[in-house]
Amino acid sequence: MRRVYFDHSATTPVHPAVAEEMYRYVNKTFGNPSSVHFFGREARKAVEEAREKVARAIGSRPEEIIFTSGGTESDLMAIKGVAYANRNKGNHIITSSVEHHAVLDNCKALEKEGFAVTVLPVDADGMVSPDSVAAAITDKTILITIMHANNEVGTIQPIGEIGRLARERGILFHTDAVQSFGKIPVNVDELLVDFVSISGHKIYAPKGIGALYIRRGVRWLPISLGGGQERKRRPGTENVPGIAALGKAAEIAMETMAAEAARLTLLRDRMIKEVMENYSNVRLNGHPTKRLPNHVNFAFEFIEGESLLLSLDLQGVAASSGSACTSGSLEPSHVLLAMGIPPEIAHGSLRITLGKDNNEEDVSYFLDVLPAIIERLRAMSPLYHKVSDDCETCVKTWCR
């Protein structure tokens, strides 16, 4: 049976060159980067070289990069670090209804500590309006946190416009770039951001490593204490193999991003075109054009999402119904609900995220096995029935 991996937004396989770089610092160059002897100095050199590579990828200074355990920790450090450092200035935070739970849950936790949080709505494409951001700003606003690209539907947010608003009002601005980094350009000066969260395992580095960009001179406090590592901003012995791997992955991503984005966009658009043309009662979730080059999200009506995923898995196709971080939840996606999609339809969502090893044959295979799966699952649904275009008697919402 053919095996097709279409879940790169959940995680990516480690790139062979990245694995080789990582192994070097697992096996041979094993020193503690805080040690002053030769073994420590070699490890320190690896950390700083990786810092330069990540900084180069986003147009920042190396000293503005902190290595973390991943995107979730980076979000936590940015949001709570700003909140605690600026409490005497204000207590208001602005975010959106489609953020990752690493952002939403930390904002919710801050509400219990006396902070006020405005959660902005999105339109039917999952887009945040810069006008709604401007309208939400008060004289107590200290932070705006809006993700660069959505992890579930792929919509790319107008971060540059929001960044300009934040800069004009003197408000700190954080963006979760976990899904966008390495796939589309992320330049801190062009986006006018003060904090950027990055995760390694979305760009062919291993799990457990990430980074946080903190613009030099902003008011921010570390949220943990205990050592002098990372200029006292994130204590604890550095994950040297992971850091070296992230640096290598960032370097490769910058070298290949333009060509890979163009290639994946062609595969993505073919998939969208054929599915939308060949199936009734299906919708494309997310913005039709302002979306990540590797990202597709469909909602198949009258189908339960878990059954769809299991049926695809039996045919060798690995996909998801949304964020891997909420895959154990029985609730429909908070992102799709925020976009106005009814719960019964949100339950039938299918997220397909392409990667470097996918090709035309993978897309063709998926398109070949999908019809029988859709037909079988819809035949099992008590709600599904075939409707002609001129049906005048049916008043159900799914008859269009």
Q: Catalytic residues, which ones? A: 325
Question: CA-based angle 257:259:262, to the nearest 5?
Answer: 105
Cα–Cα distance measured from residue 285 to residue 18, given in angstroms and rounded to the nearest whole number: 33
Tell me whether strands 116-120 and 295-300 are parallel, antiparallel or unpaired: unpaired
DSSP string, 12-44: -PPPHHHHHHHHHHHHT----TT--SHHHHHHH
As beta bridge partners, residue 328 has none
Cα–Cα distance measured from residue 347 to residue 362, given in angstroms and rounded to the nearest whole number: 25
Cβ atoms of 82 and 193 within 8 Å: the answer is no
| Residues 252-290 as b or e (16 or more Cβ within 10 Å = b) | bbeeebeebbebbeebbeebbeebeeebebbbbbbbeee
Cα–Cα distance measured from residue 355 to residue 294, given in angstroms and rounded to the nearest whole number: 7
DSSP SS3 for 93: strand
- Residue 248: closest CA among 290, 209, 191: 209
**The two three-digit tokens of residue 31, written as one number:** 């020193």
Neighbours of 5 (CB within 10 A): 19
Amino acid at 265: T
DSSP SS3 for 161: helix
Range 37-41, long-range pairs (CB < 8 A, 24+ positions): none
Cα–Cα distance measured from residue 121 to residue 397, given in angstroms and rounded to the nearest whole number: 24
Neighbours of 130 (CB within 10 A): 18
User: Hunting for tokens 């302002």 — which residue is that?
Assistant: 290
